[in-house]
Amino acid sequence: MTANSVMERISGNDPISCLTPLTPCNSDPEIEAIEDPKSSPDKSQKARVGPFWSEPDATSFRVRGKKYKEDKKKVPSTPSLFRLIATDIVESDSSILGGICSHPQERVQLALKREKEQLDHGISSDMPPFIVCVNIVLPGPPFYHVAFYYAVDDMSIIDGTSGTPSSTLANKFFFTGTDEFRKKTFKLIPRISKGPVIVKKAVGSKPAIMGTKLTQTYARGERFFEIVIDCGSDKIASKVIKLCRGYAKSIETEMAFLLEGNDESTLPEEIFGCGSLIKPNFELDSRFIKSSVTG
């Protein structure tokens, strides 16, 4: 097989290549190939107008400033540290609490396989050096997962070598710290930009340390780090999620993800990634995968 034929086969419009361009991935033909056709027979026959996800401007969110512990002042965040490259709504037969990035039929594992195949044939890879995934697991049934994938294009941003407070904090969170530290550090800022008042009031806009409210676990690999948030682990959170699901087709939800800074060595805070869901139709905008794959 020639290098050209390999490139033609592995660089098409498939779920792997969606790790690079900022384009909607819910209508890719190869995604349907890894679905259970019995679970969603009509999805390929219907299409929405425009993508169900986008990347909000991180500077529209306010975060803790350099002197926050003294003056309690918040400031607009800098632009996102990472780059949003894909967002998925994935349905499964049960919650995938072990991480989607480790699933052999999902984006990251397929992308790593493609990268190896490219390099073996002397073809340069467009795979980012590191992927961070935030996997929000919704209570079921049905069992849905909303996964935001971020490219870390510059490892100095997260390995401490840039010398910035956020890099030092990220190095501890992603590589050297304990899960107890991670539980007390990962923060989410929610915002309902469009939707009924009842949903806006239920969700609010107050930053939350997710690991102190919900069960938060992690899936790690040499090239990725996944934060898994089990929304079904708390009764109140489950009720809010079910309320939002009921209004999903009429609301736009924006989220900012960051690590909490508590002193000048880890301040100011910087948002590492944002993501939004735009009036999602969970049935049509999702694809089905089995929670476990054998053989």
- pLDDT attached to residue 19: 57
CA distances from 158 to 58, 151, 259 (A): 18, 12, 11
CA 52 to the chain's CA centroid? 14
Q: What is the 3-class SS of 116-169, one letter each residue?
A: HHHHHCCCCCCCCCEEEEEEEECCCCCEEEEEEEEEECCHHHCCCCCCCHHHHH
Phi, psi of 246 (to 5 degrees): -65, -30
**125: exposed, middle or buried (C-beta count within 10 Å: 0-12, 13-18, 19+)?**
middle
Q: How far is residue 267's CA from residue 258's CA, in Å, rounded to a whole number?
A: 12
- pLDDT attached to residue 216: 96
113, amino acid identity: K
Q: Using alpha carbons, select from 202, 208, 197 the residue that is nearest to residue 255.
A: 208
CA 288 to the chain's CA centroid? 17
Q: Are 134 and 85 in contact (CB under 8 A)?
A: no
Q: Are 138 and 241 in contact (CB under 8 A)?
A: yes
DSSP helix/strand/coil, 240: helix
79, amino acid identity: P
Helix 3-10 with 107-120: angle, nearest 10 deg? 170
- The pLDDT tens digits along the chain (295 residues) read 443 433 334 343 344 444 543 333 333 333 332 233 333 444 444 555 568 999 999 999 999 999 999 999 999 999 999 999 999 999 999 999 999 999 998 999 999 999 999 999 999 888 999 999 999 999 889 999 999 999 999 999 999 999 999 999 999 999 999 999 999 999 999 999 999 999 999 998 999 999 999 999 999 999 999 999 999 998 999 899 989 988 899 999 999 999 999 999 999 999 999 999 999 999 989 999 998 765 4
- pLDDT attached to residue 245: 86
Total-model pTM: 0.84
Q: What is the CA radius of gyration of the chain?
A: 19
Phi, psi of 163 (to 5 degrees): 85, 0
55 CB contacts (<8 Å, ≥6 apart)? 22, 80, 84, 274, 275, 276
